Amino acid sequence: MATIITDLKEKFRRGNICLQLIYINVAVFVLVTVVGVLLQLFNYLPDRWFSWLELPASLSRFAIQPWSLLTYMFMHAGLMHILFNMLWLYWFGNLFLQFFSAKHLRGIYVLGGICGGLLYMVAYNIFPYFQPMIEGSFLLGASAAVLAIVAATAYREANYPVQLFLFGSIRLKYLALIVIGMDLLFLTSSNAGGHISHLGGALAGLWFAASLGKGTDITAWINRALDALGGLFSPRFRKPKMKIHYGNNRQQDYDYNARKKKQSEEIDRILDKLKKSGYESLTADEKKSLFDASRR
């Protein structure tokens, strides 16, 4: 058992952000399922407890469980629910990483979930159709977060071909439009809350991709918060004391460090441009610099 846990930890550490999000969702699903079985064995209703992790449509209920705006996007109602969400996350998450960074994926997952949840609560409290359902309605699932990833990728690479079983090749923009169109058609279905949250997630994805194209990363504040939170649980190492050299070589060391810092900053700039605009956007000098850096 200890070996299995160690292997899972190692795979989680070595996996990309897409795989790590899948691991987190599956781990939460397994934990919630096991706890639910134990509660039923003692004649407790699991839904009564798990609703504190799901997003309520009621604003008064949300006021006493605001954390649910984050936790709901890692909760799932059943095996098929999490299976399809994780398949979409795997396919489009890895496609997303071809055009954006890992931190962008992490940030847009959270932003899509937040925007989907907020639109869900707003819609249920504005439209009279949903008034009788507010008190007993809760939202759960990663669908809004995944739709944000799909929409952002479709905006960035609209004509990218996607192979669908039985349907053949279809451009990504058309697939995104079909999915969003289906959500619009089923706004008054039994899963109205889910479809509304999908639209919120898709809008977040479009907002992210459009803003990033103009040089603004709207997920930066999310990543800063997550990095700060992660820093609280990571081990702290004492920085080694700086070694200071005296004598005739001091100026040479300063010049060398300055050159290395300038080269590093230039490579970071080129890599950022590569992620945003692709390899063909690089100038001949930038391509040469990137090639030379890869050989060091």
Using pLDDT thresholds of 50, 70 and 90, give the confidence band for residue 115: very high
pLDDT digits (tens, 9 = 90+) for 255-292: 666 677 777 778 878 777 777 777 667 777 777 776 67
Using pLDDT thresholds of 50, 70 and 90, give the confidence band for residue 232: confident
Tell me the CA end-to-end span of the chain in Å, nearest whole number: 42
Domains located in the chain, CATH noted: 2-231 (1.20.1540.10), 251-295 (no CATH)
Residues with Cβ within 8 Å of 92's Cβ and at least 6 positions away in sequence, in order, are: 146, 149, 150, 153
96 or 267: which carries more pLDDT confidence?
A: 96
**Amino acid at residue number 294:** S
Per-residue b or e along 196-208, where b marks 16 or more CB atoms closer than 10 Å to that residue's CB: bbbbbbbbbbbbb
Alpha-carbon gap, residue 66 to 115, rounded angstroms: 14
- The lowest-confidence range among 18-32, 94-108, 114-128, 232-246 is 232-246
Given a cut of 70, whether residue 39 has pLDDT beyond it is yes
Alpha-carbon gap, residue 273 to 212, rounded angstroms: 12
Alpha-carbon gap, residue 292 to 296, rounded angstroms: 7
Using pLDDT thresholds of 50, 70 and 90, give the confidence band for residue 9: confident
Give pLDDT, residue 47. 87
- The lowest-confidence range among 123-132, 162-171, 238-247 is 238-247
Which ranges of 15-163 does DSSP label H, i.e. alpha helix?
17-41, 46-50, 59-64, 68-71, 79-96, 102-126, 143-156
117 or 6: which carries more pLDDT confidence?
A: 117
3-state secondary structure of 46: helix
Given a cut of 80, whether residue 190 has pLDDT beyond it is yes
pLDDT digits (tens, 9 = 90+) for 128-146: 999 999 999 999 999 999 9
Q: For the whole model, what pTM was predicted?
A: 0.77
165 or 138: which carries more pLDDT confidence?
A: 138
